[in-house]
Amino acid sequence: MKYIIPALVVFATAYYLLKMLLDERQRLEMAILKKDAQKITLPLRLQAYERLTLLCDRAGVANTMFRVRTPGMKVKELRAALMMAISQEFDHNTSQQLYVSDTLWQIIQLAKNETLNLVTNAGGNLDPEADAELLWNVLAQALEEQDPPILQRVLMAIRTEAGQLF
């Protein structure tokens, strides 16, 4: 008995110290793995933020209008072309959601829906066979009424999230 109790104390102390050492080593290895993973994912995340920034520029109604509008277009043709081009811009960047937060991706989805609704609502009361210039004027007025425009709010959210990386 006189050897058993001290032996148990020594064993418990050794076990505790060894466990602490192994736990610390595992924590350190996990930190190294996480740092190595960040070296790989940081460029991908930055590229995603860059692509989403370009998306905000390209999917803007005014910029899209300049790309799809042709002389002699009717309201219905321009509206359909805008809806398709804006949807394609957003759909083309769907894979970027892997690299951004869920909150930012929800903001981007909201921006897509608001942008498409803007085009839909602007052309809703117009004669489909009227000249596309009429739709352009209605859209320009609707864009001026947005303060700040939805895609500007998305850009602010992108900048905020990207800034948290550093």
Given this model, what pLDDT does residue 124 score?
Answer: 80
- Asked, for residue 71, whether it belongs to a domain, the answer is yes
Percent of the chain with pLDDT over 70: 100
Domain, as residue range, for 141? 47-163
The C-alpha atoms of residue 25 and residue 27 are separated, in whole angstroms, by 5
Average pLDDT, the chain: 91
Instruction: Render pLDDT for 109-160 as a digit per residue (tens, 0 to 9).
Output: 999 999 999 999 987 888 999 999 999 999 998 888 888 888 999 999 999 9
- Count the domains in the chain: 1
Q: Does residue 23 form part of some domain?
A: no
Indicate whether 38 belongs to any domain.
no
Flag whether 26 is in a domain: no
**80 lies in some domain:** yes
Contact 151, 56 (CB under 8 A): yes
Query: In the prediction, which pLDDT does 19 show?
Result: 94
* Predicted local distance difference test score (pLDDT) of residue 148: 86
| Predicted local confidence at residue 161, as pLDDT | 95
Q: What is the pTM of this model?
A: 0.76
CA 116/CA 4 separation, integer angstroms: 79
pLDDT, one tens digit per residue, over 55-79 is: 999 999 989 989 999 999 999 999 9
CA distances to 26, 28, 41, 46 from 23, in Å:
5, 9, 26, 33
Dihedral over Cα of 152, 158, 162, 163: its sign: positive
